[in-house]
Chains A and B, each alone.
Chain A
């Protein structure tokens, strides 16, 4: 396991592992202030709002907006907090890494959010058996390790509400928030139309947030919004975790201030010459030429302006000499098979797009036009953004490689 620890690290400076005393020594005590009545927001909400913290699962949605929606949706029934560590994106390992090296920080954030919302149930969902080559193989014991920590935290009076740790199915869509809520409720891990902030786990208003988001929250609650905003961009403050992979000297997880030049991230990962192409954002992100990518900064606005998406913080470098279209065709086929197959555009559209891309690679002159026409029919036509992500990825591949 390689990480590039720097003095700018925040989350990765607090890697106490399972050791609760060491964590408390590094991070300081948990600043709990007493749970609010359901339907209200505790004083932490003002701190979250001032910090500008945005979700790290890939959507970059402001956490305060989610918290407000959950409080509004709760009525008089205590809401539920779900910590999403499913990490179904194959190029992402940062959540698993964080859960291994700073589990208490993540749990601190979950407890703080639960208190601020008056939640009485906290679920931490992970996929323990997933192969994570950068983090170090499989972690079959992750669920039981985390559950033991959660039990101890409750026994020692750290957490007023014991966190329940669940191990979910290793599918790309398992971490999609409506799919996750549906699975926790006993259903299949496929997206639904139920909005979690109104009707999520147990039919209650549910805050679903990414593992890393809760870890940032745990530090913001202790150190304040000004500290948090001291690095990052005005729209995307703070640091973020990245998973860097592909043709890099040092693959792994690193933490950078948002707004860091992509060039600097590549240099830190041991990329010494401009790469031919970089995949930003993962399987639902976009390829960029090396020249385009190295001119960008790592924040959601900069990458969106270039037609891409930062997603859950993925930087993947295409090896020199590798065929970008072939790599994309493999990803498109995998994404087709990972689809929930509930919506027509996903069930039929993704297969057609993957087939067309194969035809383009074989030199079929007609397939390219057909593929472009079909790509236009995927976005905003599914129950979730799965087809949108595939469309973005394949369109970017045609632009960069074809």
Chain B
């Protein structure tokens, strides 16, 4: 089952950790907030995605089923 990235934009303050750890799936807009370019997380990136979720300083990144 593929998991999907979801950003809680109310919590997010644009620290940019997620885009640094997952450049394949996330970029940043001109103000630093994440742009999800590909929400579905392929198996090979699942570990990176979990790490990005865990390291977000605002706990604003989620992996949904």
* Residues of chain A at the chain B interface (Cβ within 8 Å): 191-193, 342-346, 348-349, 377, 381-383
Complex CA–CA separation, A191 to B33 (angstroms): 19
A-B contact count (CB 8 A): 37
Complex CA–CA separation, A348 to B29 (angstroms): 10
Distance from B28 Cβ to chain A, minimum over Cβ atoms (Å): 10
A residues near B29, Cβ cutoff 8 Å: 344-345, 349, 377
Distance from B40 Cβ to chain A, minimum over Cβ atoms (Å): 15
**Contact B12 A193, beta carbon cutoff 8 Å:** no
- How does the 8 Å CB contact mask read for B3-25 relative to A, with 1 for contact and 0 for none? 00001111111100000000000
**Contact B31 A348, beta carbon cutoff 8 Å:** yes
**Contact A381 B35, beta carbon cutoff 8 Å:** yes
**Contact B8 A193, beta carbon cutoff 8 Å:** yes
Additional 8 contacts, C-beta under 8 A, given A193-B10, A342-B9: A343-B9, A344-B9, A344-B13, A377-B35, A381-B7, A381-B35, A382-B9, A383-B10
**Contact A344 B33, beta carbon cutoff 8 Å:** yes
Which chain B residue has the least Cβ–Cβ distance from A342?
B10
Residue B32, interface by CB 8 Å: yes
**Contact A343 B12, beta carbon cutoff 8 Å:** yes
A residues near B32, Cβ cutoff 8 Å: 344
Which chain B residue has the least Cβ–Cβ distance from A343?
B9
**Contact B10 A344, beta carbon cutoff 8 Å:** no
Complex CA–CA separation, A381 to B28 (angstroms): 12
**Contact B33 A192, beta carbon cutoff 8 Å:** no
Chain B interfacial residues counted at CB < 8 A: 13
**Contact B31 A191, beta carbon cutoff 8 Å:** no
CB interface residues, B 9-65, toward A, < 8 Å: 9-14, 29, 31-33, 35
Distance from A351 Cβ to chain B, minimum over Cβ atoms (Å): 10
Which chain A residue has the least Cβ–Cβ distance from B9?
A343
Partner of A345, one of B8, B9, B13: B9
**Contact A344 B14, beta carbon cutoff 8 Å:** yes
B residues near A192, Cβ cutoff 8 Å: 10
**Contact A383 B9, beta carbon cutoff 8 Å:** yes
Complex CA–CA separation, A348 to B31 (angstroms): 7
B residues near A381, Cβ cutoff 8 Å: 7, 9, 33, 35
Which chain A residue has the least Cβ–Cβ distance from B10?
A383
Which chain A residue has the least Cβ–Cβ distance from B28?
A344
Distance from B14 Cβ to chain A, minimum over Cβ atoms (Å): 5
Which chain B residue has the least Cβ–Cβ distance from A378?
B29
- Report which residue of B10, B32, B33 has the largest number of chain A beta carbons within 10 angstroms of its beta carbon: B10
**Contact A344 B8, beta carbon cutoff 8 Å:** no
- Report which residue of B9, B12, B33 has the largest number of chain A beta carbons within 10 angstroms of its beta carbon: B9
Distance from A210 Cβ to chain B, minimum over Cβ atoms (Å): 23
**Contact A344 B35, beta carbon cutoff 8 Å:** no
Complex CA–CA separation, A342 to B10 (angstroms): 5
**Given A344-B29, A345-B29, A377-B29, does the pair A191, B35 have CB atoms closer than 8 Å?**
no
Which chain B residue has the least Cβ–Cβ distance from A381?
B9
Which chain A residue has the least Cβ–Cβ distance from B8?
A193
B residues near A348, Cβ cutoff 8 Å: 31, 33
User: What are 25 A-B interface contacts by the 8 Å CB criterion?
Assistant: A191-B10, A193-B8, A193-B10, A342-B9, A342-B10, A343-B9, A343-B10, A343-B12, A344-B9, A344-B12, A344-B13, A344-B32, A345-B29, A345-B33, A346-B9, A348-B31, A349-B29, A349-B31, A377-B29, A377-B35, A381-B7, A381-B9, A381-B33, A383-B8, A383-B9
A residues near B35, Cβ cutoff 8 Å: 377, 381
Complex CA–CA separation, A217 to B10 (angstroms): 34
Distance from A99 Cβ to chain B, minimum over Cβ atoms (Å): 31
A residues near B31, Cβ cutoff 8 Å: 344, 348-349
Complex CA–CA separation, A193 to B33 (angstroms): 18
Complex CA–CA separation, A382 to B9 (angstroms): 5
A residues near B10, Cβ cutoff 8 Å: 191-193, 342-343, 383
Distance from A387 Cβ to chain B, minimum over Cβ atoms (Å): 9
Closest 3 CB pairs of A and B: A344-B33, A383-B10, A343-B9
A residues near B12, Cβ cutoff 8 Å: 343-344
A residues near B14, Cβ cutoff 8 Å: 344
Which chain B residue has the least Cβ–Cβ distance from A344?
B33
